[in-house]
Amino acid sequence: MSADLLRLVDGFRVTQTIYACVDLGIPDLLADGERTADDLADASGADPSTLYRLLRALASLGIVHEGDERTFSLTELGRPLRSDVPGSLNGWVRLQGRDYLWRSWGNLANAVRKGENSFRMLHGTDIWEWRAEHADESAIFDDAMRAMTIGANASILDAYDFGRFGTVVDVAGGNGTLIAAVLAAHPNLRGILFDQAHVVSGAEPVLGAAGVLDRCEVVAGSFFESLPRGGDAYVLKWIIHDWEDEESVAILRTCRAAMASEAVVLVIERDLGPPNENAVAKLADLNMLVMPGGRERTLDEYSTLFDAAGLRLVAAHPTTSGYLVIEAGIQ
């Protein structure tokens, strides 16, 4: 029996074990130090016997440490599961455990067989329309994107000089986590946060906490229709990969229509990479098939999209977080 293959096959068990830990609030309950399993059960509202079984499994994974008398403490590996620490993955874990996500992934073979988006096959609509009608799930998704954006922000700012611009437009920028970091790093810069109304409604606290609310205009709308004019850079972070080529070109054309002659588009995405490499990007590509319906791409494929939208590839700036800041200008 191949132990390595079996570990991959059973990977779903690890994901659900960690999700249950976060959903019960265990990482935050251990923020102040060691507690007994019974104490954690009382605080989390869980059954003491079954919670202990969960905790000892987490201890075997290195997420928590089991001491004497069924006491548990959070390890360094498990620390990012807390909701109140820098680099928290709490929001991302909460998204990965959602039932609709698991059911969509469970339909992967059928999606591959038919060449269709898994989520749409199950729900009869796309993920964006569905989340717009499910405010609780939309909030969990936004929180997950905020968590992952915080983790990538430093590498993006290190890799690319936003300080040369006057105004940066964050297209589909969610609740403003990226544009807040860009503005905080460059005090002379102005920003425009653009996204759907139900998304940008949560931006003010994020921008306010970063101290940039007075330098960032919040605009609601659709990137298939129009974007604010006057930007020197139009940032699309983790947006184009959500869409197939036709829609991706349409989004880029909307950017092109709003741009002045010297403005640029900055697409922040993974490079799919060559064959037999980069499992992270290739599994992310399957997630695009399963959930939003888009795809990850190679740099050459992004260049082809730019050409179709009246843009041209200028440069690709690698980051330490595995993403590229892909710069495009007007043809």
Overall average pLDDT of the 199-224 stretch: 96
What does pLDDT average to over the chain? 96
What is the Cα–Cα distance from 142 to 193, expressed in whole angstroms? 15
Render pLDDT for 278-327 as a digit per residue (tens, 0 to 9).
999 999 999 999 999 999 999 999 999 999 999 999 999 999 999 999 99
Render pLDDT for 45-56 as a digit per residue (tens, 0 to 9).
999 999 999 999
In this prediction the pTM is: 0.90
Overall average pLDDT of the 188-205 stretch: 94
What is the Cα–Cα distance from 64 to 235, expressed in whole angstroms? 39
Please answer whether residues 284 and 271 qualify as being in contact, where contact means their C-beta atoms are separated by less than 8 angstroms. no
Dihedral sign computed on CA atoms, order 303, 305, 307, 310: negative
Render pLDDT for 141-164 as a digit per residue (tens, 0 to 9).
989 998 999 889 999 999 999 999
- Indicate which residue of 123, 134, 241, 317 is catalytic: 241
Render pLDDT for 172-184 as a digit per residue (tens, 0 to 9).
999 999 999 999 9
DSSP-derived 3-state class of residue 330: strand
What are the residues whose beta carbons fall under 8 Å from the beta carbon of 168, sequence distance 6 or more?
162, 179, 182, 183, 189, 190, 191, 192, 231, 232, 233, 235
- Is position 186 annotated as part of the catalytic site? no
Q: What is the pLDDT of residue 27?
A: 98
Enumerate domains of the chain plus CATH numbers.
Answer: 3-83 (1.10.10.10), 146-273+293-330 (3.40.50.150)
- 3-state secondary structure string, 165-193? CCEEEEECCCCCHHHHHHHHHCCCCEEEE
Nearest-5° Cα angle at 65, 99 to 82? 50
Distance of CA 123 to the CA centre of its chain: 22
Render pLDDT for 72-81 as a digit per residue (tens, 0 to 9).
999 999 999 9
Render pLDDT for 229-281 as a digit per residue (tens, 0 to 9).
999 999 999 999 999 999 999 999 999 999 999 999 999 999 999 999 999 99
Distance of CA 240 to the CA centre of its chain: 13
What is the Cα–Cα distance from 302 to 248, expressed in whole angstroms? 10
pLDDT at 209 over 80: yes
Q: Which DSSP string do the residues of 27-93 spell out, in sequence order?
A: HHHTTTS-EEHHHHHHHHT--HHHHHHHHHHHHHHTSEEE-GGGEEEE-TTTGGGSTTSTT--HHHH
pLDDT band at 87 (very low <50, low <70, confident <90, very high): confident
What is the Cα–Cα distance from 66 to 57, expressed in whole angstroms? 10
